[in-house]
């Protein structure tokens, strides 16, 4: 049964990726005039379906990072906006169109303008259902900030391995643990919980009442959803994520 389920999901992903070649590529402008590229994939239910905005991790792009996860979210009833931020590259074998247009990859904090632009695009594109945003690594840190600063626009945010130190010091998510009014879910693989800063962040958001999850055999960022990257079953993580989203609709 497990093999059949995996085979069916593999077939669905292949069908989705084939259709994604004709997906609606959209562009919109950040506040500084930079062009941001994304793929908009509208659910068959139309724009009344909930919308999930997906942001990638460092060195990556939206299409490649979410090539497994995006089909599953759509299968679960979500429209998607899969974004390339200006801080990214060819990780996972993809091409970051926003970086190409920008001319070079920038620092992490600079990419926040692209994330705000994506949320603004979603807000004026006719969606009538709830809007969610998910980030991975550096964009997970920024998506917590996005939720805190745009509570009126977001029904909830999901942060996979949110970065906070080093290059993120000027846009760290940690200061928003007690101030954000947007429902927030933070996920980390078990191996990251041995890091004192990750453990401290996890405790900070736990104490503030946010939804927390540790993926026992997970890997960094949104890749914890992809069994090809974790080399293990990811259904428990999927169950936790979908439960969080479902409670907010």
Can you give the pTM of this predicted structure? 0.92
Residue 151 falls within a domain, yes or no? yes
Residue 6 has pLDDT above 90, yes or no: no
**Rounded distance between C-alpha atoms, residue 39 and residue 126, angstroms:** 16
Residue 81 falls within a domain, yes or no? yes
pLDDT digits over 121-159, tens only? 999 999 999 999 999 999 999 999 999 999 999 999 999
Tokens 């974004």 belong to 83
Residue 8 falls within a domain, yes or no? no
pLDDT of residue 22: 38
pLDDT of residue 23: 79
pLDDT of residue 8: 45
Residue 3 falls within a domain, yes or no? no
**Rounded distance between C-alpha atoms, residue 102 and residue 86, angstroms:** 7
Any residues with CB less than 8 A from the CB of 188 and at least 6 apart, and which?
161, 198, 202, 213, 214, 215, 218
Residue 198 has pLDDT above 50, yes or no: yes
Binning the chain into helix, strand and coil, the percentages to the nearest 5 are 45, 20, 35
pLDDT of residue 19: 42
What's the CATH number where 77 sits? 3.40.50.1820
**Rounded distance between C-alpha atoms, residue 158 and residue 183, angstroms:** 9
The residue segments making up the domain with residue 148 are 24-247
Residue 5 falls within a domain, yes or no? no
pLDDT digits over 102-131, tens only? 999 999 999 999 999 999 999 999 999 999
Confidence band (pLDDT; 50, 70, 90) for 88?
very high
pLDDT of residue 217: 93
**What are the φ and ψ backbone dihedral angles of 82, each rounded to 5 degrees?**
-100, 110
pLDDT average, residue stretch 72-93: 98
- What would the two tokens of residue 123 be? 């807000």
**What are the φ and ψ backbone dihedral angles of 174, each rounded to 5 degrees?**
-60, -30
Residue 29 has pLDDT above 50, yes or no: yes
Segments of 10-63 assigned E as strands = 24-29, 35-41, 51-54
Give me the chain's average pLDDT, please.
93
Q: Provide Rg for the chain, Cα atoms.
A: 17
pLDDT of residue 16: 43
Helices 138-149 and 112-123, axial angle in degrees (round to 10)? 50
Residue 72 falls within a domain, yes or no? yes
Residue 10 falls within a domain, yes or no? no
pLDDT average, residue stretch 170-184: 97
Looking at the 3D structure of the chain, how many domains does it have?
A: 1
Residue 17 falls within a domain, yes or no? no
């Amino acid at each position: 049964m497990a093999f059949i389920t995996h085979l069916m999901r593999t077939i669905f992903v292949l069908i989705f990726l084939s259709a994604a070649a004709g997906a609606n590529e959209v562009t919109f402008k950040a506040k500084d005039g930079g062009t941001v590229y994304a793929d908009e994939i509208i659910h068959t239910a139309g724009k009344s379906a909930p919308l999930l905005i997906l942001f990638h991790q460092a060195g990556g792009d939206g299409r490649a990072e979410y090539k497994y996860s995006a089909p599953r979210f759509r299968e679960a009833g979500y429209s998607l906006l899969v974004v390339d931020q200006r801080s990214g590259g060819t990780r996972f074998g993809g091409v970051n169109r926003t970086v190409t247009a920008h001319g070079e990859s920038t620092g992490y904090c600079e990419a926040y303008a692209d994330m705000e632009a994506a949320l603004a695009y979603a807000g004026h594109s006719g969606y009538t259902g709830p809007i969610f945003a998910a980030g991975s690594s550096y964009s997970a840190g920024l998506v917590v900030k996005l939720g805190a600063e745009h509570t009126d626009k977001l029904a909830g945010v999901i942060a996979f391995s949110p970065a906070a130190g080093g290059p993120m010091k000027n846009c760290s998510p940690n200061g928003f643990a007690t101030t954000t009014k947007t429902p927030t879910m933070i996920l980390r693989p078990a191996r990251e919980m041995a890091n004192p800063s990750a453990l401290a962040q996890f405790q900070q958001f736990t104490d503030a009442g946010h939804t927390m999850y540790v993926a026992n055999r997970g890997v960094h960022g949104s890749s914890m959803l992809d069994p090809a990257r974790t080399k293990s079953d990811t259904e428990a993580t999927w169950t936790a994520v979908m439960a969080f989203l479902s409670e907010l609709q």
